[in-house]
Homo-oligomer: A and B are copies of this chain.
């Protein structure tokens, strides 16, 4: 199968190339980059010497070869909105890693992303590409909205409870921590090495744009109107997301029963690892892999459940999940090309 990667030199794009290069059923036929068009990929990303040396192209739909069936969009938010209609018209299937097609409600998009959506009619047609929830719809989709990194980590942690309507939503507090690659590859003063190292800070307190995406799916899973508190933090590491989710359940529960529910919920999902009771995830244990590790903790004194969730933001939180979606779309085994174990 032949694919294209648009935005191949950003972090998600590079990670897509890393995974697709070694995927036995796929060939990258086209790779674009606005900042590096005309250069060979490996000269911009020297880790790819000998492995992927394709010349980067400027981005234009017409120059994508006809043989390409599937297009991965790893472009900055806002760009795909204008581009995807054209791609679909050209008969391509699309996996978009940006936020442009994740929200159903164009009004929400306008508020949280501070611009008017140029193709609101597509919002109802895209499939939210979280395979553990939407596997069937993904299989037949023409347009996948690949979930954000934080939402992936949070939704996998909450889905089993949401489905069972066990959550007292008003009690939910989500404290998220991300490695710096989550902020993208463009140099920025506060992400300059000497500024980031030995530093930890919160950002977008009470207003991160991934919030509505989480609320949308949690509302849909639970059948309730969900509003959540979400605060992300920047941590001095390159990769990794760790979410600590505090909540109260409606009604009594035991840890063992909850654990059994989680194990059952994810039984047929190879990338979610529900850790044994009293074991908790760590970002390093999923680094470079498509795993999401979940741990269930109890704060018995205050009657709260504490769910801990760890992913690699660039893999399960972006490129790995996109490849997983591709596998499902094309009837391949879900783990194909994603067998790589964590690199500690």
Interface residues of A (CB under 8 A from B): 11, 14, 18, 21-22, 43, 45-51, 170, 173, 175, 177, 179-181, 185-189, 191-203, 205-206, 211, 227-229, 231, 233, 235-240, 242, 244, 246, 270, 273, 275, 279-289, 291, 293, 295, 297-302, 304, 306, 308, 310, 339-344
Contact = CB atoms under 8 A, between A and B. Distances in A.
Given A198-B198, A235-B235, 6 more contacts: A18-B341, A46-B285, A180-B192, A192-B193, A229-B246, A235-B236
Contacts of A288: 288, 343
Nearest to A247: B173
Given A46-B279, A344-B47, A308 B187 contact: no
Contacts of A291: 49
Contacts of A188: 187, 192
A303 B330 CA distance: 45
Contact of A280 (B189, B202, B301): B202
A201 B46 contact: no
15 contacts: A22-B339, A46-B293, A47-B342, A175-B244, A177-B200, A191-B193, A191-B194, A194-B238, A195-B344, A199-B282, A202-B297, A202-B306, A229-B299, A229-B306, A231-B246
A302 B227 contact: yes
Given A175-B244, A187-B189, A244-B231, A238 B49 contact: no
B242 A201 contact: yes
Contacts of A231: 244, 246, 297, 299, 306
Given A197-B237, A201-B280, A173 B22 contact: no
A42 B302 CA distance: 32
Contacts of A273: 49-50
Contacts of A206: 297-301, 304, 306
B242 A233 contact: yes
Nearest to A50: B273
Contact of A193 (B22, B196, B246, B283): B196
B179 A177 contact: no
Contact of A46 (B14, B236, B282): B282
Contact of A344 (B14, B189, B205, B342): B14
Contact of A21 (B189, B246, B299, B341): B341
A225 to B, nearest CB: 12
A240 B281 CA distance: 22
Contacts of A233: 177, 242, 244
Contact of A200 (B48, B240, B279): B240
A49 B194 contact: no
A283 B200 contact: yes
B201 A193 contact: no
The residue in A194, A205, A288 that gathers the most chain B C-beta atoms within 10 A of its C-beta is A194
Nearest to A49: B273
A226 to B, nearest CB: 11
